[in-house]
Amino acid sequence: MEDTEPLRYHPADIEQRWQQRWLDDGTYEIDNDDPRESRFVLSMYPYPSGPAHIGHVRNYTFGDLLVRYNTMQGRGVLSPIGFDSFGLPAENAAIKSGEHPRPFTDGKIEELSSSLRRIGAVYDTRRTIKSHDPAYMKWNQVFFQKFYEAGLIYRTEAPVNWCPGCHTVLANEQVVDGLCERSDDPVEKRNLEQWFCRITAYAQELLDDLDDLEWPDRVKLMQRNWIGRSEGAEFGLPIAAADGTARSDVEPLMVYTTRPDTSFGMTFAVMSPEHPRVDELTTDDQRPLVEAFRQEVANRSEIDRLSTSGEITKRGIATGSHVVNPFTGKPIPVFLADYVLITYGTGAIMAVPGQDQRDWDFAAAYDLPIVRTVAPPDDFDGEAFTGDGPAINSEWLDGLEVTEAKAKAIDWLVDQGIGEHKINFRLRDWLFARQRFWGCPIPMVYCQNECGIVAVPEDQLPIVAPDDVEFRASGENPLLHHEKFLNTTCPNCDGPAKRETDTMDTFVDSSWYFLRFCDPWNTDEPFDRAAAEKFMPVDQYIGGIEHAILHLMYARFFTKALADLGYTPKDLREPFERLFTQGMVRMGGSKMSKSKGNTVAPEDFINDHGADSLRLAILQAKPPAEDVDFEDFQLEGCERFLNRVWRLAATDPELIKNIRSGATTATDNEIDAAAHRLIDRVTGEYERWAYNTAVAGFMEFTNTLYKYVQSDEGANDETLSFAVDTLLRLMAPAVPHISAELWAMRHDDEHIHELTWPTADPAKLVVSEVTMIVQINGKLRDRIDVAAEITESDAEAMAMASPKVQAQLDGATPKKVIVRAPNLVNIVA
């Protein structure tokens, strides 16, 4: 029977054994006083949804390779894992089954951990943390209160996004095209009193600090767009009296613009339908129409309102009142329009149809005057002109270019005392609370006497939701009906108080977990400052592009806020020094998901073929940053390759028949040099995430060794031994089980992952002979083997002497000869 053949590769036998040994030996545990140079390698906090899917496997394979590679480089690598275990799926399951989310979640964590272990991913398992662990929740709650004290968290009424499907409010970042990113339900705008986090206080720093991060440009760009800084002027438009003159007895209407230079072309003004001064600025004869318009806008869904289609005349209405353009002194009408947003700037704009296409369309529909204030080029045939050019029709701005005109207009506004230079951000404050059960409770109470909102004292934290709750089909938070939880006493006055039943957005949990990993045992503090100083920032963060905005923005904000609150060193401004965003695994072109039923179970493959084959196939398939289709994994080829390595390294006598000892031949030396070149190559490829070509390198070298051992000359024992050992050491981070097993077989149970990374002998990287290519007019005509140190003139002479060149030239004299000795000669004929 083949199965009993000792030299066969049987992954199932060896993988479990090595996984156990890595745990037992604590190979990847690191203490806080570890003397080695430290490296923090982290894969994004996974939501525990059950056994790993193929996307997880890809992500954690890349992370694991880096952990093992850096460890072999002699660094002390912090490689922790945790579980982002709060969230809606567990609560929705609870609603269906009636079972509490905790056992459900613990079960999923068990499944995911076991999968990670089975793919050979190694962690310091002593440091594992979970969001729903009260020991972790406590610090969320402490931070909430510190933020509240510092004014970074506040409670206010505001128009917020409400998802009826998830029965909770959502952050702006969780609304995609007017739909809930989780449930795809249309999101409604509701005016609710809510907890907000003042992330906008850090808007400028969040923007500036992007510059120094080694992150993909794409992610930085997405963050910049999301923060959306714009620079301009905010100023008042005086309300016009009946005769068109400016009234000084009422507040002017404030507007924000990025183009103060075009103010002379302002021929009307527009307010958001939700603007608080609409009533005041509506004339009696227009009031019925304005009211109808506001009602109509209020009834329209967010998605309708976002759509750019639809009759422009249906999108606005005149208020009947006028304001004065302070630049021209002339009265201009005030409109309402649904495209002006109450949440941005002042909720009112000056309209300059000559320089803004939307204003142009509106002006055309309402027959309003259009005045150009920037001269378009002669060949311009469009409508609104948004480009640069000299100012016209603008009195004292005429002739100035846009930049100068802006500055002068702002100076004038300041001189007149009616406006100022103003920077605006698109970024909004983070809506921090959710009306759901399975999250971290917000540690505040509402005093029924006079104290108002009161923080629960730290010695009473963490507040953990009770287990005896009844889940409702509506998704309504069961805490609302749990009298025992709800009713408490005010920490201030001992009077009756109601507990806050909202929980924190689960993005809070993932906003500082990397800091907790530095010191997860701490019971007195969220983490020790010195521990954070030692390991932070994360040297290499790995995760999906889908977190480009949400998680990465919140974690950056938390890091800055915690530094300013003194939890971390003041200069720790950024959590993730280097970010790598790996591509997604797709099935037949579409994203894999459980609901589409197109997932493949990595566990099944591992059972039959082993984790190393799967890891290798993932590494080989595509550059890590790119999306990959599961069908493109070449699982059989990779398994075949590992078998080839096995036969070679286990010295299968059928394969290796002809072994010599003693002095080395030219062939032996070439094999030896190839091994050194491979070290050089693979090291570079690991450094730059070129894992697919590193795998190609392993395969090429193995092919070379196969030819070597099967040649008539045979293989030198020492040369072969070094070559195979080198191959195993280079493969150890990529396919850890087979590499470890073969190394232990060959080296008396030595542990390959505790060895240091091989280094190439520079002397052996020098080549003595190269293939010089000879071109005529850039086309390849001949190849000649030459000495590496050949002179330019010798190279040219050899090229010219080539019979193929002579035949092509056919007696003609070359116009010019380009020589790049020893690699190339190009003859220009």
Partner RNA sequence: GCCCGGGUGGCGGAAUGGCAGACGCGGCGGAUUCAAAAUCCGCUGCCCGAAAGGGCGUGUGGGUUCGACUCCCACCCCGGGCACCA
Q: Which of residues 162-221 bind RNA (CB under 7 A)?
A: 176, 217-218, 221
Residue (of 195, 49, 36, 193) closest to 112 by Cα position: 49
Residues with Cβ within 8 Å of 122's Cβ and at least 6 positions away in sequence, in order, are 22, 27, 28, 64, 67, 68, 79, 736
Instruction: Tell me the CA distances in angstroms from 371 to 374, 377, 401, one per residue in order.
Output: 9, 16, 17
Range in contact with RNA (rule: CB under 7 A) among 20-28, 158-166, 631-639, 751-759? 631-639
Give alpha helix (H) positions in 73-216: 88-97, 101-118, 134-149, 203-208
Least Cβ distance, residue 634 to RNA (angstroms) = 4
Piece in contact with RNA (CB under 7 A), picked from 74-82, 124-132, 305-313, 495-503: 305-313
- In the bound state with RNA, the residue whose beta carbon lies nearer, of 356 and 668, is 356
Residues between 330 and 359 that touch RNA (CB under 7 A)? 338-341, 344-345, 347, 349-350, 356, 358
Contact call for residues 443 and 149 (beta carbons, < 8 A): no
Among 69, 123, 256, 360, binds RNA (CB under 7 A): 256
Pick the closer one to RNA by CB: 418 or 464: 418
Helices (H), 388-491: 402-416, 483-486
Site for RNA in 77-106 (CB under 7 A): none
> What is the SS3 assignment for 784-828?
EEEECCCCHHHHHHHHHHCHHHHHHHCCCCCCEEEEECCCEEEEE
What DSSP designation does 577 have?
A: S
> What values do phi and psi take at 316, rounded to 5?
-150, 170
- The token pair that represents 762 in the structure block: 């520079």
Q: Would you state the structure tokens that stand for residue 565, as one six-digit string?
A: 């609150």
Q: Does 308 bind RNA (CB under 7 A)?
A: yes
* 651 sits near RNA (criterion: CB under 7 A): no
Would you count residue 623 as binding RNA (CB under 7 A)? yes
| Smallest separation (angstroms) from RNA to the CB of 526 | 31
With binding defined as CB under 7 A, does residue 826 bind RNA? Answer: yes
Cβ proximity to RNA, 417 vs 589, nearer residue: 589
Nearest approach, Cβ of residue 655 and RNA (Å): 7
State how far the Cα of 240 lies from the Cα of 143, in Å rounded to an integer: 50
Task: Determine which residue in the list 16, 301, 424, 664 makes contact with RNA, applying CB under 7 A.
Answer: 424
Q: Which is nearer to RNA, 315 or 372 (CB)?
A: 315
Whole-number Å distance between alpha carbons of 827 and 274: 75
Q: Which of these segments, 88-96, 239-247, 662-670, 693-701, binds RNA (CB under 7 A)?
A: 693-701
What region does 194 belong to: left with phi over 0, alpha with psi -120 to 50, or beta? beta
Question: Applying CB under 7 A, what is the total number of residues that bind RNA?
Answer: 84
Question: Alpha carbon of 160 to those of 229, 371, 433, 500, 736: distances in Å?
Answer: 22, 38, 11, 19, 50
421 binds RNA (CB under 7 A): no
Residue 29 CB, shortest distance to RNA, in Å, is 35
**Smallest distance from RNA to CB 326, Å:** 16
CB of 804 to RNA, least distance (A): 6
Site for RNA in 446-485 (CB under 7 A): none
Instruction: Please tell me whether residue 406 binds RNA under the rule CB under 7 A.
Output: no
Pick the piece of the chain touching RNA (CB under 7 A) from 447-455, 460-468, 479-487, 642-650: 642-650
**226 lines the binding site for RNA (CB under 7 A):** yes
Which listed residue (375, 451, 690, 787) binds RNA by CB under 7 A? 690
Asked if 688 interacts with RNA (CB under 7 A), we say: yes
For residues 787-806, which are near RNA according to CB under 7 A? 804
Q: Using CA atoms, how far apart are residues 735 and 728, in angstroms rounded to an integer?
A: 9
* Contact between 323 and RNA per CB under 7 A: no
Question: Which of 230, 488, 598, 664 lies at the binding interface for RNA (CB under 7 A)?
Answer: 230
Pairing state between β 769-776 and 659-660: unpaired
On whether the CB atoms of residues 497 and 454 are closer than 8 A, the answer is yes
Quote the CA–CA distance of 285 and 278 in Å, as a whole number. 14
Asked if 306 interacts with RNA (CB under 7 A), we say yes
Burial readout 735-749 (b: 16 or more C-beta within 10 A, e: otherwise): bbbbbbbbbbebeee
Return d(Cα 287, Cα 298) in angstroms, integer.
16
Pick from 68, 647, 676, 729: which binds RNA (CB under 7 A)? 647
- 735, 727, 738: which is closest to 697 by C-alpha? 727
What are the structure tokens assigned to 495, written together?
Answer: 């009077």
Q: Which is nearer to RNA, 96 or 820 (CB)?
A: 820
Instruction: Figure out which of the listed residues 464, 549, 744, 809 binds RNA, where binding follows CB under 7 A.
Output: 549
Per-residue interface string for the shown chain with RNA, residues 737-776, x marking contact by CB under 7 A? ----------------------------------x-x-x-
Residues 262-281 that bind RNA (CB under 7 A): 272
Give the range of 286-294, 412-420, 598-606, 816-824 binding RNA by CB under 7 A: 816-824
Structure tokens at 827: 């003859």
Q: Which of 421, 808, 809, 814 binds RNA (CB under 7 A)?
A: 808
Task: For residue 420, state whether it binds RNA (rule: CB under 7 A).
Answer: no
* Residue placing its CB nearer to RNA in the complex, 570 or 816: 816
Q: Tell me whether residue 95 or residue 671 sits nearer to RNA (CB atom).
A: 671
What gap in Å lies between CA 217 and CA 220, rounded to an integer? 5
Give min distance, CB of 586 to RNA, in A. 10
Q: Which of 398, 460, 575 is nearest to 137 (CA)?
A: 460
Q: Which of 19, 145, 257, 510 binds RNA (CB under 7 A)?
A: 257
Q: Quick check: 824 binds RNA (CB under 7 A)?
A: yes
> Rounded to a whole number, what is the distance in angstroms from the first to the last CA of the chain?
67
